[in-house]
Amino acid sequence: MLLDFFKRERGRTHVLAIDLGTASISAAAAVRHEGEKTEILKVLRYPIDLFGYQLGGVAEKLPYILKDGFIKVFKDAFGVLRHFDIIMIGFADPFCVDKTTERKITRANSSSAITEEEINRMVKSLRDEIMDKMLAIVGHEILSMRVNGYEVDSANRYKGKSLEAAIMFTSISPTLKEYVESAKEMFFPKSGVFYYSDAAVFRKALKSTGNLYEHGIAMDIGGEMTTIFDADACVNQRYGAAAFGVRTLMRRVEASMKIDAAEAESLIKKYSSGALDEAIKTKVEKVLTPALSDWFLALQEPIRQFASGNYTRKIMLTGGGADLALFAGFLKESLKRDYNIAADIQIFNAEIFRDFFAGASQNWLRGGGDVILSSLALLTP
């Protein structure tokens, strides 16, 4: 049974979904039809090269390439539709920060019902408390609420002496926010915009599709980064990240075998699918094995964190790296060898949403790299 992730709006809703990754900016222009499947009108993809930039550094040094990228996205989207009702934007690590804070208050009048205004005051108070002048808060999500110690879906209209809340706030750099909003104002000044971290969207996607497991681990293998976080919808736990992704692997193959990027990508895909002859496979393996060892080594600290806890052995792989079997295979072997963990590694890709898209739209979004874009196209803000 799907949850509120896929609520149906009345009539038609035109959605522009955008995912900022470390190797590309992707966008999907979609139309949601009340009571029917969602239609994808167009998918836009813009490769970006951030190699050499200090990702996650100070806002002033944010690559200008991102400003140009968002202008291209909105300009080309304007060529598809002149208006979008909502714009949904997801940000990969390290472009955003999720921070969770909790508060418990004792209410003066326990016999009066809790109101939305009371909840909003709590949210605002916590927001002001964690405000960081170096970051711009662009969204929040209430992870859990308790009234008199009992967890409730929504505290609104409940009565009680105590009210507790755990709220996650999402922040991005003011510079990045200005890049997005100035580009949006050029083409879609009347559209509402909603910001999310990719991790938050991924948790919602897991929950909505029935793949959420308490204390499960998610590993997002992107173009330039790999991030590990808790897959529990009510927990905002980021174990850590490493500046090593699919493109890092490609550059290793390029440099060692003295070939171009396209050839390196092709070789890695063929190796991963077992389509290389033995001679070439041996050559590629000599490059990939130490490279994958470096990837696993770079993730040692976050891996130690979840390996030492009382967690299930379920690990959900997503991102572009999830489409390459070599990552899953190497991870499984390494966890068993170094930590004696018999991991249950599962691939979470965009195909899981296939039945929610209409006809030809089912073929627009594919693989682990399109999970966030698919989710944003379906997500109700």
- Chain segment 283-334, per-residue pLDDT in tens: 999 999 999 999 999 999 989 887 776 656 789 999 999 999 999 999 999 9
343 phi/psi in degrees, rounded to 5: -75, 140
Strand order in the sheet with 226-230: 238-242, 226-230, 217-221, 314-318, 344-347
What does CATH list as the number for 96-171? 3.30.1490.110
Q: Give mean pLDDT, residues 360-374.
A: 90
pLDDT in tens, 229-241: 887 755 667 888 9
Q: With contact defined as beta carbons under 8 Å apart, do 132 and 171 qualify?
A: yes
Domain boundaries defined on the chain: 4-95+174-209+350-378, 96-171, 217-347
CATH says 217-347 is which class? alpha beta
Quick one: average pLDDT of 60-64?
Answer: 62
Mean pLDDT, range 234-259, rounded to an integer = 89
Buried b (16+ CB within 10 A) or exposed e, 223-241: bbbbbbbbbbbebbbbbbb
**Tokens, residue 279:** 């001679």
Average pLDDT taken over every residue of the chain: 88
pLDDT of residue 16: 98
**What is the 8-class DSSP label of residue 104?**
E
Query: Contact, 194 vs 139, CB < 8 A?
Result: yes
User: pLDDT confidence of 211, banded at 50, 70, 90?
Assistant: low
**pLDDT above 70 as % of the chain:** 90
Kindly report whether the global pTM for this prediction surpasses the value 0.85.
yes
Q: Using one digit for the tens of pLDDT, what is the confidence trace for 116-139?
A: 999 999 999 999 998 888 899 999
- Does 217-347 match 4-95+174-209+350-378 at the fold level? yes
Q: Collapse the DSSP code of 53 into the 3-class scheme (helix H, G, I; strand E, B; otherwise coil) and give the result.
A: coil
Please provide the CATH number assigned to the domain covering 4-95+174-209+350-378.
3.30.420.10
